[in-house]
Chain A
Amino acid sequence: MASMVALILISILVVVFWGSLESMGRYGLNFLITSNWNPVDDEYGAFTAIYGTLVTSLFALVIAVPLGVGTAIFITENIIPLKVRNIIGLMVELLAAIPSVVLGLWAIFILEPLIRPFLMFLYEDFGWIPIFSTEPLGPGMAPAILILVVMILPIITAIARDSLNQVPIQLRQAAYGVGATRWGAILNVILPAAISGIVGGVMLALGRAMGETMAVTMIIGNSNVFSWSLLAPGNTISAMLANQFGEADVGQLSSLMYAAFVLMVLTLLVNVFAQWLVKRLSLKY
C-alpha cells in the first residue's frame, strides 16, 4: 500500500504529461513566453498566467516572511506570558484551517473594497512605476497577493516556530551570559542557528502559494490580457485551470494540461529543493 503513494505521484505526472503532448508538439517552448490565450482562434500561450503565478507568489512571500518569522520569534521568546503566546500560536494554526474558498469569499466582499482606496493612492501617486500603472477597478493581482499572504503566513510561522524551538538552550544561555540583549541574541545567535529550517519553510510556502487556487481565482479577475501592473486583473495557472478546465474543448484542454504540467514541475522543483534544504542544512547540535 505504501507504493500507492509513489504510484499516484508518478501517474499524476504521466497523466498530465500525456494530456499536454499535443499542445507541447504544437507550441513547444513558445507556449511559455507568448501571452495570447485565445480559445476562439485556438491559439494559446501561457505567459500571462505564468507571470501571474510567479509575481503573486513572490510578492506574497516578500510580505509574509517578515510577518511570519516576526510572529514566530514573538511566540518562542519570553517577551509576553506563555498563555498569551499559546493563544496566538493556536490562532495562527486555526487560520491555516480556514478553507481557501471561504477566504476568497471574504476577499471579494470585504478585503478588496477595503484596500481599494489605498490601491487608488498607489495608482495616482506612483503610477509611473510599471507595476502600479493601471487604475484599480476591483479584482486584481494586488488583492490576490494579500489573500495569498494570509494563506501562507501560518505555514511560515509554524515552521519557523518549530525551528526556533529546536535551537539548543545552551546557545541562548551563552549569548545572554556574554551580555547580549534579547534581540542581540535573537539576531546574532538564535536566528542564524535556525535559518535552515526557516528557509525550508519559506520554500514550502512558496510551493503552496504557486499552487493555491480558489481564493486567488475568486479575486484575481481572470484576465487573459497581459499587464505588468499589479493593480490590473491577471491570472495564475491554477486560476486558469479552475476557470476553464470544466468547459474546455480538445485543443484548449491540451493547452490547459500543458499549463498544469508547467505548474506541476514548478511546484515539484520548489518542494524537492525545500526538502533537500531542510535535510542537508538541518541543525547539527
Chain B
Amino acid sequence: MPDLGYKNWQKRNIVNRLLSVLAGLFSFLCILPLIAVLAYILIKGISTFNLDLFTKLPPPPGGEGGGFGNAILGSIIVTTIAALIAIPIGVGGGIYLAEYSTGRGFSQFIRFGTNVLAGVPSIIAGVFVYGVIVSTRILFGNTFSAIAGGTALSVLMLPTVVKTTDEGLKLVSNDLRRAALGVGASRFVTVSQITLPKAFTPIATGVVLSIARAAGETAPLIFTALFSPFWPNGIFDPIATLSVLIYNFSAQPYDLQNQLAWSASFLLVVFILALNLLARWLGRFASK
C-alpha cells in the first residue's frame, strides 16, 4: 500500500508553493506604485498645504508665495461644461440602446462604436476639437476657450455614460416594463417613470466615474482650453485647469512651481479618489 499522504518535499508541491509566492510577489509589485505615488503626494503635497493655494493666483517665474485658485475654479468650470454636454447625450443614447432599439443592425453598430470611442486616445479628442472649434474660430471668433476644453472632455466622457446607462437599464427586469405597458402606460412614461428611476444607481455610478476621469484629463486640454495665469474670464477665453497646471509647472526649473505642482496633484488626487469611493459606495448602496 503506497503512502497517500501529502508530501511536502514532492516536486509538484514545491513548484506549487513557489508559484504561489511568485503570484503574491507580483501582486505586491502591482500595488507598490499606488502606495509610492500616494505616499509622495501626501508628503510633498501636505507639507505646504495652506489656504493661499485656494485664494491666490500662481506666482510669476521666480516669484514667491501664491496659489492656484484660478486653476481650481477653471477645473470645476471645464468639467461642468463637459458634464453638461456628455450626460444628456450619453444618458439619451443609452436609453435609446436599451429601451427603443431592436438590438440588431444600427444599435449593434452604435454599441461597437461606443467601445471604439472609449479606446480613442485622449490626445486625439484634443486634436479633433482643435480642428473643429479652435482653428475654425467657430464660437464667436474665439480660439482657445474653456468651452473648447469642455467639449474635448465630453468626447471622452460620452462612451462611459452611454455604456453604463445602457447596461444599467438592461439590468431592470422586463416584468416591470410589461407591467407598466400592460396598465396602459406609453413607452415614454414607462421609461421615465419606471425603468429610469429603477436604474438610477448604476447610471449615477457611471456618471460619477466619468466625471472623475474627466477631472484628471490633461492631454485634450493642452491645446483647447490652453492655460491662463489669471482668474477665469468667461467660458470663451483660455482657462487654467489643475491638470494643465501640474503639467506646465512640473517642467519649470523653479522649486516653487514644482512645489505648487505637487500641491495641485494632492488636491486633484484627493478629489478623484473621493469621487471613485463615492461611486463604489453608490454601487454597494444599490446592491443592498
Contacts and interface: CB of A to CB of B under 8 A. Distances in A.
Interface in B90-123: 92-94, 96-97, 101, 107, 109-110, 112-117, 119-123
A75 interface: yes
Contacts of A108: 250
A157 B34 CA distance: 14
A104 B250 contact: yes
A2 B96 contact: yes
B120 A71 contact: no
Nearest to B212: A97
B121 A101 contact: no
Given A3-B110, A238-B219, A102 B132 contact: no
Contacts, number: 239
Given A6-B110, A109-B258, A260-B124, A181 B273 contact: no
A74 B27 contact: yes
A104 B264 CA distance: 13
Interface string B128-152: 1011100000000000000000000
A94 B247 contact: no
Nearest to B250: A105
Interface string B154-167: 01001100100000
Contact of A245 (B30, B31, B126): B126
Contact of A246 (B13, B115, B223): B223
Contacts of A246: 222-223, 226
A11 B20 contact: no
Given A79-B20, A100-B218, 7 more contacts: A67-B29, A71-B30, A93-B276, A109-B40, A153-B33, A238-B121, A271-B115
Interface in B242-288: 243, 246-247, 250-251, 258, 261-262, 265, 268-269, 272-273, 276, 280
A208 B30 CA distance: 18
Contacts of A270: 119
B26 interface: yes
B214 to A, nearest CB: 10
Chain B binding site: helix, strand, loop or mixed by DSSP?
Answer: helix
A242 interface: yes
Interface residues of A, number: 80
Contacts of B97: 2
A70 interface: yes
Contacts of B13: 181
A10 to B, nearest CB: 9
Given A2-B96, A105-B246, A105-B265, A98 B37 contact: yes
Pick from A106, A157, A184 the residue with the most CB of B within 10 Å: A106
A2 B158 CA distance: 10
Chain A binding site: helix, strand, loop or mixed by DSSP?
Answer: helix
29 contacts: A2-B94, A8-B155, A15-B131, A16-B124, A74-B26, A79-B23, A88-B31, A92-B31, A97-B273, A99-B216, A99-B218, A101-B216, A101-B246, A102-B216, A102-B268, A104-B246, A182-B16, A183-B19, A184-B12, A204-B119, A210-B121, A211-B120, A213-B121, A214-B219, A218-B251, A268-B116, A270-B119, A271-B115, A275-B116
The bracket for how many chain B residues form the interface is 35 or more
Nearest to B119: A271
Interface in B3-38: 12-13, 15-16, 19-20, 22-27, 29-31, 33-37
Given A16-B124, A97-B212, A245 B16 contact: no
A207 interface: yes
Pick from B33, B258, B272 the residue with the most CB of A within 10 Å: B33
Given A8-B155, A102-B246, A66 B26 contact: yes
A13 to B, nearest CB: 9
B119 A79 contact: no
Nearest to B101: A2
Contacts of A218: 247, 250-251
Contact of B128 (A15, A99, A204, A214): A15
A80 B23 CA distance: 11
Contacts of A103: 37
